[in-house]
Amino acid sequence: MRQIILDTETTGLDPAQGHRIVELACVEMVNRTLTGNHLHLYLNPDRDSDPEALAVHGLTTDFLSGHPRFEDVVQQFVDFVRDGELIIHNAAFDCRFLNAELQRVGLPRVEELCATVTDSLLFARELHPGKRNSLDALCERYGISNAHRTLHGALLDSELLADVWLAMTRGQDALLMDFEEDAETVSTGGSLGQGRVDTSVLRVVAASEAEAAQHEAYLEVLDKAVKGQCIWRAYEPVAAEERAAE
């Protein structure tokens, strides 16, 4: 499964008023793992940014004038997103601008270029109704550091959103499925059943206090993400009883 986490910065709020994209970033994730492959473009919009937009992204007209226009690099964008799932925070906004840019050069809408578009803001609102679900708020909720985010930047925001998306969609189902598949493999004489492991010679390394504290902090974030249904928490009383019996 190939997913593309995307973000843009623009000269203003409405492409119908002539506003343009000034920065575009895409971060690739395959099977829930960031690949390190990304696309990051600054774009010359041939116009000034509104003062409010400039205060958000800090990309001046002078800086952007030395960069290519959208039509000069559009093929890079098309090749990068083609047939992937786009994950965008407030997707309606970014897609409106992307489609305006694509229309100018005679290309199909972004929804036709990629497999699907997923709005992480709508997902977050369903997951956390009645709460703030901006990118900053979600970073705080899931313990993701955004201290280095003084201005909005498309690449940094895409990387933060990738971490947020992984945290929001992290659950126990995949783990349980892995256990079930492993059990079936053993019962049917698969590769796991062929091994001969003498567990008595395995070295046991106890976690340090710092490692235990990090583990506890991770479980706190995980428990919040799955609304108190973290499977590891359910086994903690059992583990405590077993340790007491030793």
Residue-wise pLDDT for 220-232, tens only, equals: 777 777 667 676 6
Q: What fold does the segment set 2-168 form as a domain?
A: Nucleotidyltransferase; domain 5 (3.30.420)
Active site residues: 152
SS3 state at 122 = helix
How much is the pLDDT for 173?
A: 43
Tokens representing residue 100 in the block = 């305006």
How much is the pLDDT for 39?
A: 97
Helix/strand/coil percentages in the chain, nearest 5: 50, 15, 35
How much is the pLDDT for 246?
A: 54
How much is the pLDDT for 200?
A: 60
- Give the model confidence (pLDDT) of 148-173 as tens digits: 765 678 999 999 999 999 999 986 44
Rounded CA-CA distance 223/17 in Å is 45
Tokens representing residue 190 in the block = 């698969």
**Parts of the chain with a pLDDT under 50:** 172-194
In the chain, at which residue ranges do the beta strands (DSSP E only) sit? 2-10, 21-30, 33-42, 85-88, 116-119
How much is the pLDDT for 54?
A: 96
CA torsion sign, 79 to 110 to 107 to 105? negative
How much is the pLDDT for 109?
A: 98
DSSP string spanning 50-115?
Answer: PHHHHHHH---HHHHTTS--HHHHHHHHHHHHTTSEEEETTHHHHHHHHHHHHHHTT---HHHHSS
Please tell me the pTM assigned to this model: 0.69
Using the 8-state DSSP alphabet, how is residue 22 labeled? E
Q: What does the domain layout of the chain look like in residue ranges?
A: 2-168, 203-246
